Amino acid sequence: MDPLAQLVDSSLRCADSTLDPRTEFAAGRLVRLRRGFYVPTSTWLDAAPHERFHAAVAAYARARPGAVFCGETAVFLHGLPVVKVPPFIDVAVPSTARLGTRPSTFAVRGGSEAGRRALNTPPPPVRRHRHDLTDVQDVGEFHTIPLITALTEILAAGRFARALTVADGMLRASTAESLLELPELVSEMGQIRHGSHRRRAELVASLARAGAESPGESVSRALMHLFGFPEPVLQREHRDGQGLVGRTDFAWDVAPDPVGEFDGWGKYFQQELTGGEDPREVMRREKRRENRLLALGHPVLRWNWADLERPEAFRARLIEGGLRPSSSRLLVERSRLLAEKSA
């Protein structure tokens, strides 16, 4: 169950309620997200990371009415994809007082096994940034800086893989062929004070591709760019004598014509992606599809999140598949800009 639906605000406890959050917390049956806000320990453990993050942001917003979120937290609240979950709860403040990261207020009591496990799943700490708060957008119960401002902030200063993921998601949500066609974004980037940050934002925006359909695909492309591999064609259709084989996440127009697939486990086991189909049948169909691609002469390269978290091993896999990185002066300069805030 979503922990947001079971978020307990102790200040709103009914007088006739038999539930005392402090007693339940002391016994280990509730975890405390911040003072006065609790979630059942079992619910917290069963929740997906993005659900836990959402509940932690809600606890902050309810504890501090009027709080305004920025950075990746803002784009998360607006529904754009991010890499896993944001590493901080990013909060916008109007002055330079008390900027930076604040320690997490997450706490677990009791000595139960569930409590010990919950200690390993804290929400991220709060990080404060100075912003002009004259223009604030409402997203449900939350307040954020304008989405285009948050996007620009990430393009200019976020880690490259995370910035590219947000850029890809923004492009998919628009009707434009390039983020550089969005006048409001171009205007916002033009106001970036530091030239190196402005050039980086423009570069990341230019690399956004609507065909990257998941954060894993965006992170894959980010690493390809950093290592200097040729730009892949996204979501290419392949056909043989039987008809449509399917689309591949990545394809390259270089010998030996390899294709690449990012394999998130959700495609096999999440019901919303499989339609409730037996995972074994999904995998059998995927194997038949791969055999048809091999018969067409396409080496099939596969990787998952674990591979992306070991970039050098991912690079070696692409090289084994026949791809070769470039070392042109243009690429070196581009890689320098990107690596300033790499994955």
Percent of the chain with pLDDT over 70: 88
pLDDT at residue 10 is higher than 60: yes
Does the residue 252 lie in any domain?
yes
**Single residue among 115, 145, 175 that ends a domain in this structure:** 145
Q: Sort residue 240 into left (φ over 0), alpha (ψ -120 to 50) or beta.
A: beta
What is the span of the domain harbouring residue 281?
A: 229-325
* Reported pTM: 0.89
pLDDT of residue 269: 46
Sign, CA dihedral 269-274-277-281, equals negative
pLDDT of residue 330: 54
Does the residue 173 lie in any domain?
no
pLDDT of residue 278: 72
pLDDT of residue 268: 47
Q: How confident is the model over 163-172, as pLDDT tens digits?
A: 999 999 999 9
Does the residue 150 lie in any domain?
no
Does the residue 179 lie in any domain?
no
**Single residue among 145, 170, 193 that ends a domain in this structure:** 145
Taking all residues of the chain, what is their mean pLDDT, rounded to a whole number?
89
125 and 245 co-located in one domain: no
132 and 27 co-located in one domain: yes
Does the residue 138 lie in any domain?
yes
249 and 118 co-located in one domain: no
Contacts of 206 (CB under 8 A, 6+ apart): 178, 179, 180
Q: How confident is the model over 303-332, as pLDDT tens digits?
A: 999 999 999 999 999 999 999 998 655 565
User: Which residue, among 151, 152, 144, has the nearest Cα to 70 in the 3D structure?
Assistant: 144
pLDDT of residue 87: 94
Q: Structural domain tally of the chain? A: 2
